[in-house]
Amino acid sequence: LLTGAEGCYGVLTLDENQNQTCLLAQATILATGGCGQLYLNTTNPEVATGDGVALAFHAGAPVADLEFVQFHPTALRLPDTPCFLITEAVRGEGGILRNAHEDRFMPSYHHQAELAPRDVVARSVLLEMLKTGTDHVYLDLSLLGPELTKHRFPNIYETCLSYGLDITKAPIPVAPAAHYMMGGVATDLYGRTGVPHLFACGEVANSGVHGANRLASNSLLDGLVFGHRILTYLQTHQLSFNQLPAELEATFSAETNPAQVTADRLTLQQLASTELGIIRQENGLCQAQHYLTATDLQQVPALTPDYLELQNLRLFAQLLVTAACARQESRGSHYRLDYPDPNPAWTKRIIQSPQGTSTIPVEQPFTWRW
């Protein structure tokens, strides 16, 4: 982002031919999605590398609630197959979760069994995987019968069939996958951030509507509602700059080793999946913090999108681990084995900016005045 005394002036772009271009705008809107690629297993697309949060943070915008990462409990788990999401409606229709020994396990974790909250089911599935030494459990649809299964879930049936699995004849191997970031760039109800002329909407933004645990489909608020509110704001407010800086220069640095970038990204994903995932504790968080501070990729020259994305993933991980260490309790999707219960003293939000980390009461909205 191109920033100066009056806020954000636009962006510096890098195209496939490594040409750099400055694009100036009176309003810049971040709508870059989340950061699911921080983890080995995710339902997110390959471009979900935390770019928007990293851009905003470097520009000086506060970010909030980054410790809250939602994992979908049932993503398809097959070799060399994408993490295709198996909707909770399957369990709502009577699908049963079974471990590697074919035992139903959810009733032993929660009185609502398979219909327990998403974070409870994801945590229970992970614990069963650890107990049995497997990388998945099974979602059994036999109680639904073949006709109901195909009628109610035609897309799931056809997709699994394309991967060689007939879910009317065999259970679905599933495992939790990173799905949605409740945290993001702190915004008010018009999508404004802490940097003038910079807006954010969608998963990259954090207006606070999801709290610690997003309800299913409520992500529509982030995109449709707040995207529309930004548009309404821009139609009714004339944004302008008093004076553009005499020079707006920013450059990307030179190229680096692609093989090393790939290896470093895999190491980061393995670390995040183990220590910053569904179940966290102090030792693991400290290990992650040490790894992220022991090496500084900013000192390595780069001009590849892969490297820039790795930088952004690392920054997102650093912000996440800082917030997760600070929140010494379990709340929503943030579960700490060493602090397994909610603590009323932590009914507040963790805000991070280049100036430091602070907290605000949950009932206090962000109000950015430009």
- The pLDDT of residue 247 is 65
Chain centroid to CA 167: how far?
29
Are 222 and 352 in the same domain?
yes
Number of domains in the chain: 2
Residue 28 near residue 1, CB atoms below 8 Å = yes
Are 93 and 203 in the same domain?
no
- The pLDDT of residue 331 is 97
Per run of 10 residues, the mean pLDDT along the chain (length 370 residues) is: 92 83 94 97 96 97 98 96 94 97 97 95 97 97 95 97 96 98 96 97 94 88 93 93 71 62 92 98 97 71 78 96 98 97 96 95 83
What's the CATH code of the domain at 166? 3.90.700.10
Q: Is 229 an annotated catalytic residue?
A: no
Does residue 368 lie in a domain region? no
d(CA 240, CA 192): 15
Are 248 and 355 in the same domain?
yes
Are 258 and 322 in the same domain?
yes
- The pLDDT of residue 323 is 98
Beta pairing partners, 325:
none
Residue 81 near residue 198, CB atoms below 8 Å = no
Are 61 and 166 in the same domain?
no
- Domain interval for residue 305: 2-68+182-361
> Buried (b) or exposed (e) across 99-122, using 16+ Cβ within 10 A?
bbeeeebbeebeeebbebebbbbb
Residue 208, CA distances (Å) to 14, 90, 152, 240 in order: 32, 29, 34, 28
Does residue 366 lie in a domain region? no
Does residue 255 lie in a domain region? yes
DSSP H helix total and E strand total for the chain: 10, 14
Query: Which helix or strand (DSSP H or E) is residue 222 part of?
Result: none
Predicted TM-score (pTM) of this structure: 0.92
Are 145 and 57 in the same domain?
no
Are 103 and 126 in the same domain?
yes
If you count them, how many residues does the chain have? 370
| Dihedral sign from CA coordinates of 260, 265, 266, 271 | positive
Does residue 342 lie in a domain region? yes
Are 316 and 261 in the same domain?
yes
Residue 320, CA distances (Å) to 83, 130, 226, 274 in order: 23, 24, 24, 14
- The pLDDT of residue 313 is 97
Chain centroid to CA 279: how far?
16
- The pLDDT of residue 218 is 86
List 77, 91, 104, 118, catalytic entry: 118
- The pLDDT of residue 132 is 95
What's the CATH code of the domain at 289? 3.50.50.60
Q: Which residue has the tokens 């569904």?
A: 278
Are 217 and 328 in the same domain?
yes
d(CA 77, CA 176): 9
Are 237 and 323 in the same domain?
yes
Show the tokens assigned to 182.
């409740």
> Buried (b) or exposed (e) across 71-92, using 16+ Cβ within 10 A?
bbbbbbbbeebebbbbbbebbe
